[in-house]
A and B are shown apart, each in its own frame.
Chain A
Amino acid sequence: MTLPDFALARPDTLEEALALLGDDQVPYCGGTELLLAMKVGLQRPETLVDVKRVPELRGVRSSHGELVIGGASTHDDLSRDALVREVLPLLAEVEAHVGNARVRVQGSIGGNLCFAEPKSDVATTLIALDASVTLQSSSGRRTLLVRDFIVGPYYADKEPGELLIDVRIPLVATRRGAYVKFQVTERPTVGVAVVQDTETGACRVVVGAVGEIPVWRDWASVADIDVEELSSAVDPVEDLTGSERYKRHLTAVFVRRALRDLERSS
């Protein structure tokens, strides 16, 4: 299983990177999704534009009430980052359980979102946290919510000339959350994120991995959550890990388990 032939560009600045991007010139960061897709013949780009050196894609900072995570930050970086652990321990914990230890070292949060892998723990969690992404191209910059960015399975709302610069998560001091998943193979069968504002009681439940894209619902309080409604709202993809019926059932089980964990969280 060899990689097909391609060219590699290693720009040092954002401008250089953006100038290189195109239909057959794709961003390359950790390669945990892209290189595998190329090995099995699903993608054959002419050029990989390595964005790991671009300063705007690196590091984590807090700015104007938001946590700003550079798109090239790896899962391993985020699971251990002192700031993330302090202000968003839920995200740090989710990142500590993505894939395996090598995937966490190589894979980036930006790459994970851009691939829109339906079984992404990260996307499910970020939707619950009301996160957004910053996209930039040579002609400008735009911001959109992760829940709008993930359009379909393996399909994100991103133009070929655009680069995901960072992920922004609003910091809400009164927020608590939980993420639980059911996983038998390499990727989760179902992942459920619950985030609640303890001041208002309002909460959001996001169910990922079951369907082609995560399903989310907002409720005024935990007591209002209709687990049955959620499990019938998901559109399960049948595969080797389960039938539609089983996955609906698992959805209900894991929403309840997520709510139980939420109650236990501080």
Chain B
Amino acid sequence: MLAEAHLQRITARINGVEVTRTVAARLTLVELLREDLGLTGTKVSCELQVCGVCTVLVDGSPVSSCTYLAIDADGRDVQTVEGLADGEQLHPLQTAFVESMALQCGFCTPGFLMMSKALLDRVPDPSPEQIAKHLDGNICRCTGYEPIIRAVGCAARRLRGEADHE
């Protein structure tokens, strides 16, 4: 039987790199990412799972890394905004967000990108209504959302290999 512990050793694959750390039970995944690993692309805002700013993918599913224990990432695959581009090649979501001006201050953007990736991984051809519903748990105070919904639709088309028709 495992002894209960305040500190545990974990190994996680973070943006494709295997990372082993001894972490406190109270450490959240976002604290591990930002403070220990220096992956500051993931931001924090509401800390109550409602704003979506801290969204990262764990084994491909979106989670609020502010309310996700770092220990729970043990043995799992974590993807953050820093792991979205393929080297210098931006992910189609990133390109579409820039082109559609789907961001301004950019603080919510890493969360929107990861949340959108989770959608497109599951639903390659979402309707604007599906996109809006999926992103309803992410807050943006700058854009008014319509450019974001448009950008996700545009990225979906490009990922399916379709030409732009805007």
Contact = CB atoms under 8 A, between A and B. Distances in A.
Query: Are chains A and B touching directly in their complex (CB below 8 angstroms)?
Result: yes
Interface of A: 1-12, 16, 19-20, 25, 31-32, 35-36, 39, 47-50, 52, 76, 99-103, 105-106, 186
Contacts of A1: 47
A88 B11 CA distance: 38
Contact of B4 (A4, A8, A99): A8
A16 B3 CA distance: 10
Most buried by B among A10, A35, A49, A101: A101
Nearest to A40: B48
B24 to A, nearest CB: 8
**Chain B's interface: helix, strand, loop or mixed, by majority?**
mixed
Contacts of A101: 62, 115, 118, 134, 137
A102 B4 contact: no
Contact of B2 (A5, A9, A36, A48): A9
Interface stretch (B65-73, B78-86, B87-95, B143-151): B65-73
Given A8-B69, A39-B47, A100 B5 contact: no
Given A100-B137, A101-B118, A36 B49 contact: yes
Given A4-B26, A8-B71, A48-B25, A20 B4 contact: yes
A103 B67 CA distance: 10
A9 B137 contact: no
A35 B2 contact: no
Given A8-B5, A19-B1, A20-B4, A2 B26 contact: yes
B64 interface: yes
Contacts of A76: 61
B155 to A, nearest CB: 17
Given A100-B49, A101-B137, A9 B5 contact: yes
7 contacts: A2-B26, A3-B28, A12-B2, A31-B69, A100-B49, A100-B52, A101-B115
Kindly state the interface size class of chain B when it binds its partner: 20 to 34
Interface string B22-47: 00111010000000000000000001
Contacts of A31: 67-69
B137 to A, nearest CB: 2
Most buried by B among A6, A8, A10, A186: A8
Contacts of A48: 25
B6 to A, nearest CB: 5
Given A16-B1, A20-B4, A35 B50 contact: no
B104 interface: no
Nearest to A107: B49
A253 B52 CA distance: 32
Nearest to B56: A102
Contacts of B61: 76, 105
Nearest to A38: B26
Nearest to B31: A2
